[in-house]
A and B are shown apart, each in its own frame.
Chain A
């Protein structure tokens, strides 16, 4: 252990370069899409689509497809389509539809992961699918990743104002001639793509952290919609890079000198940022509560 912030080789290591690039791309896409996930209270749909990506990811390993990103994306898109078909506009029904699709998808994922494990006689594949692989990312996948990410960003950019107004009040949006249902469906596609990309890189289980964490932190820090999106993207990139740096340094850490999982460190950084952003609000609340407690409890 050398105890330096940047351990030797960090800036020259090819795997680190790829991880930094892929991590940044995925963080920006997750943040721009995730702002609306938080505003529209669709965190459950985001989590579910990430989990459904697992079904496709594990299936593509089983089929011997070298590029699991398509498996993740296609499964998440099918999931989004089913959720949209089964769920009507009312939110309780939508959550129910999401839950049913999620349950069915995870059943398949359990089967595929079992088959993956038994056929390759190693648990490595399951760990990669569920918890990600930023350091062993296959650079051949990069073009597909960027293309799918561009589609997600384009969908959000084109529908930005309509999406914002539909999220504020569907009634207000509909009265202005905005096709609220169509805008919602387009957003669900962007969401499916964003979580599929996050699932490929930091793992299906942890993709929600990248989708929800930086936007939720940004909403605490700014009160403007566009600025919230930029802040979330910056926080996403920063926490992802911090996680990668720590993971690289962790090869020199006790106890095992074996390296800590990068996805864990990214999620830990996201959570730490979120807690820090909560602090001012928490202090305000305690300030306000103190005198009330004194009068009600003489």
Chain B
């Protein structure tokens, strides 16, 4: 029941960049993640979908090594993760930067290059060229010299993505990068990530509470509900039978135009209504 659909190895193009195997997390007696397993191949765009409190951030923290799992393992590029995340780029949730912070967009991107090193950075032509190249890759050249704290949500996301990508990672993790963005910036950020992922053969794991903005670009989906995960293609996972078994109660999957809405149906067992109710709200917003 926990892993409704185990990904067959041959469905992953190329080597698996990330393998999450049987990860369980218990925090002060409460089970946050239960036997979560999935794999992401190089160059694959994967959405980590679930409502607030489903365990998305905890799962990302386990992959980053910031949270020790009670059991299970995480392999990155075939190796157990080391102390430093050289191959992982990370965009955390809700980075609040004060408008008074003396930090230009290009300074934040430069910190992505060597932010963990001791000492004061010396200006170099190579460094400046790399930052310039990354800024233009995320279309941030126009506001490169503005204070990060004065940028809009979408602009800040692009700068944070550039910060995450400048060290040339092979795996990019983004925690709710679309939260608090208006629909247009939402679309721009999704297209940007998809384009860069494709160009750089980057494995992307992006968490979101709504799968719809990602439907066009997602290769695979990891659906989290109440700490359990189902993974596969959208067609394999976002089905009434699979999600009902995940939630432990009946849910309907409705296709409205190009969008998918998950709606709680008649409760049949354990009622974990939070996620379903949330998707309901999304449905209301649509209509």
Residues of A with Cβ closer than 8 Å to B?
Answer: 35, 38-39, 157-162, 164-165, 168-169, 171-178, 218-219, 222-228
Contact = CB atoms under 8 A, between A and B. Distances in A.
B120 A226 contact: yes
A102 to B, nearest CB: 25
B276 interface: no
B83 A177 contact: yes
A161 B115 contact: yes
A35 B101 CA distance: 10
6 contacts: A39-B102, A161-B118, A162-B116, A168-B111, A224-B102, A225-B107
B64 interface: yes
A160 B120 contact: yes
A218 B111 CA distance: 21
Contacts of A174: 66
Given A158-B119, A160-B120, A161-B115, A176 B92 contact: no
Contacts of B145: 223
Interface in B82-137: 83-85, 88, 90, 92-93, 95, 97-98, 100-104, 107-108, 111, 114-121
Contact of B84 (A159, A176, A225): A176
Query: Interface residues of B toward A: which range?
Result: 20 to 34
Contacts of A169: 92, 95, 97
Contacts of A223: 102-104, 145-147
Contacts of B121: 160-161
Nearest to B84: A177
B119 A164 contact: no
Contacts of A171: 66, 92-93, 95
A146 B83 CA distance: 37
A177 B116 contact: yes
Contact of A161 (B64, B100, B103, B111): B111
Given A161-B114, A169-B92, 4 more contacts: A172-B90, A175-B88, A223-B102, A224-B104
Given A161-B111, A161-B121, A168-B108, A39 B101 contact: yes
Q: Report whether over half of chain A's contact residues are helix, strand or loop; otherwise say mixed.
A: helix
B102 A175 contact: no
Contacts of A38: 100
A177 B95 contact: no
Nearest to B82: A177
A164 B115 contact: yes
Contacts of A159: 118
B115 A175 contact: no
Contacts of A160: 118-121
Nearest to A156: B120
Interface string B244-260: 00000000000000000
A225 B100 CA distance: 11
Contacts of B111: 161, 164-165, 168
Nearest to B118: A158
A225 B102 contact: yes
Nearest to B106: A224
B224 to A, nearest CB: 20
A223 B105 CA distance: 10
B118 A165 contact: no
A224 B107 contact: yes
A175 B66 contact: yes
A176 B114 CA distance: 10
Q: Which of B83, B90, B101, B107 counts the most chain A CB atoms within 10 A?
A: B101
Interface in B60-80: 64, 66
3 shortest interchain CB distances as A-B pairs: A228-B102, A177-B84, A171-B92
Given A161-B111, A161-B121, A172-B90, A222 B102 contact: yes
B84 A161 contact: no
Nearest to A162: B116
A176 B87 CA distance: 10
Nearest to B110: A161
A100 B272 CA distance: 44
Nearest to A220: B100
A27 B128 CA distance: 32
A228 B83 CA distance: 32
Given A161-B111, A177-B84, A219 B100 contact: yes
Nearest to B175: A171
A176 B86 CA distance: 8
A168 B103 contact: yes
Nearest to A169: B95
B6 to A, nearest CB: 28
A172 B95 CA distance: 9
B68 to A, nearest CB: 13
Given A171-B92, A172-B90, A225-B107, A165 B116 contact: yes
A160 B145 CA distance: 21
A178 B116 contact: yes
A24 to B, nearest CB: 21
Contacts of B147: 223
A173 B164 CA distance: 11
Contact of A176 (B97, B102, B107, B116): B116
